[in-house]
Homo-oligomer: A and B are copies of this chain.
Amino acid sequence: MRAPELTFVPYPPDARFVREARSGLVWHRVAQRVLFADTDRTGVVYHGNYFRFFEQGRSSLLRDAGFPHAQVEADGYAYPIYELGTDFFRPIAHDAPIFVHTRFRGLAAVRVDFEYVITLAETGLVACRGFTRHCATNRQGRPVAVDPLTVAVFRNFPT
């Protein structure tokens, strides 16, 4: 599969975000460097280790979006992942500077979706694209409606 051609340009209202030129969509962005710990003997990032980068993106997005993690947890909500998928277009080498882009992809009655794009910082080329789908659950692990605090953060995400 061909890598998507995505061009991220500054988002003047907030330097922690960028805008994808073609679609106009706003993404959160964090910079990261690849460690030996992320790689395997093929010399590039091990496929299972991309999910740490995605979590870092999601976690940073939520913090920057004012998501009250401790409060949501205290209210009894959890958001386990029930589905994920990733397309890998280019390997990522050790010590490579990368950008992790994250955005909300969708909100439904009992779930929230995120998507991710990792680019190579030096060329802007897309290395991979993925998504995670999260189900709202209560303390007993049963699906419930997404809590109001999460909905509010989602609705306020820049567009």
A contact residues vs B (CB 8 Å cutoff): 1, 33, 35-37, 39-44, 46-52, 55-56, 59, 63, 69, 78, 80-89, 91, 94-95, 132, 141
Q: A41-B43, A43-B41 are in contact. Are A52 and B78 (CB under 8 A)?
A: no
Among B40, B63, B82, point to the contact of A36 (Cβ < 8 A).
B40
Flag if B88 contacts A85 (CB, 8 Å): no
A interface secondary structure, majority: mixed
Interface pairs (29), CB distance under 8 Å: A1-B83, A35-B55, A35-B56, A35-B59, A36-B40, A36-B41, A36-B42, A36-B55, A37-B48, A37-B55, A40-B40, A41-B94, A47-B81, A47-B84, A47-B132, A48-B48, A48-B50, A48-B51, A48-B55, A80-B88, A80-B91, A82-B87, A82-B88, A83-B85, A83-B87, A83-B88, A84-B86, A85-B85, A91-B141
Q: Which residues of B contact A40 (CB under 8 A)?
A: 36-37, 39-41
Q: Which residues of B contact A132 (CB under 8 A)?
A: 47
A55 CB, nearest partner CB in chain B, Å: 5
